[in-house]
Structure 1
Amino acid sequence: MTGITEKTAASVELRAARIPGIVGIIADHYWFVIDKGGEEKVKQRWEVWQNKDAGGQSWHYLHKNLKDWQSGVGNGPSRLEYCWYGLEAQSLIEAIETSPSQYPYVPCYRYWPGPNSNTYVQWVLDQARITEIPGPSAIGKDYLGLIGSKVSRQGLLFSTPVVGAAFSRGKYVIFQLMTLPFGWSMKPFRLLYPGLRLQQNKNR
């Protein structure tokens, strides 16, 4: 019964859609969708957008409900990559709702190397201590400035705009060239490369 209660109380989705133009071959735009449950079933969409104060409720480049929760961004429909429930969803909701005052790049946006929409998504996941990561098409998620490193529950990361590397024992090994990922994941074994879309759709 506890599991049923948790799953009906709240959920957070991670959704993605192809970016318009030729860049959409390898790159996606990611965002979060919050559903707090209850009778109203109102869903909130949170994302960093390329234009400042473009609509909905906004804090510079960070937007809430700029678009419909499942709408793409001009190059086809969106897809569900992950969905979390229970305590993980609550941790994500807290990180997302406090992000207007806590996300360090609210007044800054760059397509490349970042910070961009995918930088924001990865930052929220780090704040909530979530181990899942967006797929290879989330270009910009590993932006840490001109040079940076971090150790998290997701693994080890060294990142620069030119070269980088990410490692998680038993999960993946990734090398980055100009922020583009090349490597492999385990369980199941899979080569990772720019443009690979992983229809992970993992419910937690």
Structure 2
Amino acid sequence: MTATILVILMTLVLLLAGPAFVIASGTATLGVDWSRADRASVGLAPDPATTQEAVVQVYAARALSWRGAFGTHPWFAVKPAGASAYTVYEVIGWRVYRGLPAVAVSNRDPDGRWFGSAPAVLAELRGPAAEAAIPKIAEAAQSYPYAGEYRIWPGPNSNTFAAWVGRAVPELRLDLPSTALGKDYLGTGLIARAPSGTGWQVSLFGLAGLLLAREEGFEVNLLGMTFGVDPFDLAVKIPGVGRVALSAPAPTAPAADSPPPG
């Protein structure tokens, strides 16, 4: 009995150490006033006024307040060729609480901060590849099976939605971050393709599972949180913290018209 309790306590420490570090480092901020939080664009989306080709971008940013210590909020931003604005697809929990469908479709800034948290681009398509993917994303959003449900943990939530769309549009090769709490929720199912479409996963109600895929690597899901190893990108995945690279990125060659260092 004592050994069992010790194992449980050690497991909880491992699961919570990452989120505690995220809070201590200031990556996630507690007590954010959502009504005053910054939602401005961060400049990652191509300007429709100067970019005529079709664009698809998938974003994720730390969730609001204490939730950001554990996970992220994702969304899909699409712009058909010649369009003057982006369409954003995402799942928002408060909509369900008010009797609305969980899936929100809007024309908000595609790269806007998520209540103060700057987003990162997870996947991108341009030109004909983006044009072909846009109707698939719209169809997947319309057929999302949990449109009337939302649970922060273990799902279905906004990351469950992102994983659903990723499986429907494998050309995105969507590698959701290990902090995408809820991405492993499969409802009553046990087996599904990985969100990237490059492998498979098994999951028990999003509480325990395994994932093996070329894009994501190997992941273990425990209580909705992810430990993992990505051997192709030489990185490990830690609950709360996310991906940690084990090698420095290769230096980028300077552009031809860049001034010499000195």
TM-score, normalising length: structure 1: 0.81
> Of Structure 1 and Structure 2, which has the larger fraction of its residues in strand?
1
Are the equivalent residues in 1 in contact too, given 2:208–2:221 (CA < 8 A)? Answer: yes
Cα distance in 1 between the residues matched to 2:137 and 2:184: 18
Instruction: Give the aligned partner of residue 185 of structure 1.
Output: 230
Q: Alpha-carbon deviation of 1:45?
A: 1.1
Instruction: Determine which structure has the larger helix proportion and give its number.
Output: 2
SS of 2:112's equivalent?
coil
Amino acid at match of 1:182: F
Tell me the SS of whatever aligns to 1:98. helix
Partner of 2:81: 37
Compared CA separation, residues 98 and 169, structure 1 to 2 (3 A): closer
Worse-superposed segment, 66-75 or 26-35 = 66-75
What do the CA deviations read for 1:84-125 (whole angstroms, capped 9, x no partner)? 124542343112222353111111111111111111111111
Mark the CA change 1:85 to 1:198 in structure 2 (over 3 Å): closer, same or farther: farther
**What SS does structure 2 have at the residue aligned with 1:138?**
coil
Q: Contact 1:181/1:194 (CA < 8 Å) preserved in 2?
A: yes
Q: Which of 91, 108, 119 is residue 78 of structure 1 equivalent to?
A: 119
- 1:35–1:66 CA distance, 2 compared to 1 (3 A): closer
Evaluate the alpha carbon distance shift between residue 142 and residue 162 of structure 1 in structure 2; reply closer, same or farther with a 3 A threshold.
closer
Which runs of 5 or more structure 2 residues have no equivalent in the other structure?
A: 1-50, 245-262
Name the CA shift for 1:166/1:100 in 2 (closer, same or farther; >3 Å): closer
Query: Percent identity, aligned pairs only?
Result: 26
Q: Which residue of 2 aligns with 1:145?
A: 187
CA distance in 1, matches of 2:231, 2:122: 18
Q: Cα distance, 1:133 vs. partner?
A: 1.7
Q: Which of the two has higher C-alpha Rg?
A: 2
Contact preservation (8 Å) 2:217, 2:230: yes
* Aligned equivalent of 1:166, options 177, 197, 211: 211
Residue type of the partner of 1:114? G
**Matched positions, count:** 190
